[in-house]
Amino acid sequence: MKMMLEAKGLTRDYVSGGGLFGRAKSVRALHGISFAVEEGKTLAIVGESGCGKSTLARIITLIDPASGGTLTMDGQAVDVSRASPPRDLRRKVQIVFQNPYGSLNPRQKVGDMLMEQLYLNTDHTAEERRAEAYAMLAKVGLKREHFNRYPHMFSGGQRQRLAIARALMVRPKILVLDEPVSALDLSVQAQVLNLLADLQDEFGLTYVFISHDLSVVKYIADTVMVMFKGEVVEYGPREEVFANPQHDYTRMLFAATPRADVESIRARLERKRAA
């Protein structure tokens, strides 16, 4: 299977100011991150806030450069620090953010938002852009009449569908999903996750799925990478990581995850009565 995304020894340093007389200090946010994602598969990145997940996402999406290491995307080496990546490379990777309320322009109609992606990244005519926008709305479960509406007219789940549609307009090969369902109700989460699975099959997408929700990760991931303080502490196939976690931090995450199945609820009630 073809490797769509591969990282070796990625580091990221930030310089903090030392004040008027102090010396600037360098803080390392990522410590030698390495992973590989096959085409059409999903890598889930798990960890608590501040572990470096979002920093890594910014490097993968070509927003920030890495301080060290190598990143290869679809067989092409990436180095944002030396030169701005070409347009065709930027089109290969898109991102869907956590908050569907803040990621969409409230003053822009849905149709204009979708067509703007094609206007900036392709040579399509106005008619072609409109036709593709209508088609993408249908693929994410929305209707033609939504084309001329504003984001505030939609529910949270619908807005996240719009964010996904916008990301897919330029036909990327890699989609970075930064906590895409954490702001949604449980029933809506399931709908969006099923939509993502269907779109992955249809377009052959490669996902980098960032989450702290292990139940979501267990559903969608092929490979799991657990991060702690900027380092990878566990990495492997989903079944192996969930069945036999090797690192103490991974076991702690699993133990802290509430379980909603009937047997677990009964066990908690029995422990509460005994106490």
Percentage of residues in the chain with pLDDT exceeding 90? 62
CB 100 within 8 A of CB 162: yes
Give domain status of residue 239, yes or no.
yes
Give domain status of residue 225, yes or no.
yes
The pLDDT value recorded for residue 19 is 64
Provide the residue range defining the domain that includes 239: 36-66+74-92+172-274
178 closest CA partner among 90, 102, 250, 275: 102
The answer to whether residue 183 scores a pLDDT higher than 80 is no
Over the stretch 3-15, which tens digit does the pLDDT of each residue have? 999 999 999 998 8
- As a whole number, mean pLDDT of residues 155-165 equals 93
The answer to whether residue 192 scores a pLDDT higher than 70 is yes
The pLDDT value recorded for residue 263 is 59
Surface-to-core class of residue 158, CB atoms within 10 Å of its CB (0-12 exposed, 13-18 middle, 19+ buried): buried
- As a whole number, mean pLDDT of residues 262-274 equals 63
Give domain status of residue 220, yes or no.
yes
Percentage of residues in the chain with pLDDT exceeding 70? 93
The pLDDT value recorded for residue 18 is 64
The pLDDT value recorded for residue 7 is 95
The answer to whether residue 262 scores a pLDDT higher than 60 is no
Q: Which region among 68-72, 185-189, 202-206 has the lowest average model confidence (pLDDT)?
A: 185-189
Q: What is the DSSP string of 44-65?
A: EEE--TTSSHHHHHHHHTTSS-
How, if at all, do strands 223-228 and 174-178 pair? unpaired
Give domain status of residue 121, yes or no.
no
Residue with token string 């822009």? 108
What's the CATH code of the domain at 249?
3.40.50.300
Give domain status of residue 233, yes or no.
yes
Give domain status of residue 192, yes or no.
yes
Give domain status of residue 54, yes or no.
yes
Please give the tally of structural domains in the chain. 1
* Mean pLDDT value across the chain: 88
d(CA 223, CA 39): 12
The pLDDT value recorded for residue 258 is 58
The answer to whether residue 209 scores a pLDDT higher than 90 is yes
d(CA 5, CA 22): 40
Q: Which region among 86-95, 215-224, 234-243 has the lowest average model confidence (pLDDT)?
A: 86-95
237: left (phi over 0), alpha (psi -120 to 50) or beta: beta
Give domain status of residue 209, yes or no.
yes
The pLDDT value recorded for residue 239 is 94
CB atoms within 10 A of CB 173: 18
The pLDDT value recorded for residue 87 is 80
Over the stretch 114-143, which tens digit does the pLDDT of each residue have? 999 999 888 899 999 999 999 999 999 999
pTM of the predicted model as reported, rounded to 2 decimal places: 0.87
Surface-to-core class of residue 31, CB atoms within 10 Å of its CB (0-12 exposed, 13-18 middle, 19+ buried): middle
The pLDDT value recorded for residue 267 is 61
The encoded tokens of residue 80 equal 């944002």
The pLDDT value recorded for residue 21 is 66
The pLDDT value recorded for residue 15 is 84
Over the stretch 24-73, which tens digit does the pLDDT of each residue have? 788 899 999 999 999 999 999 998 888 999 999 999 999 999 999 999 99
The pLDDT value recorded for residue 259 is 56
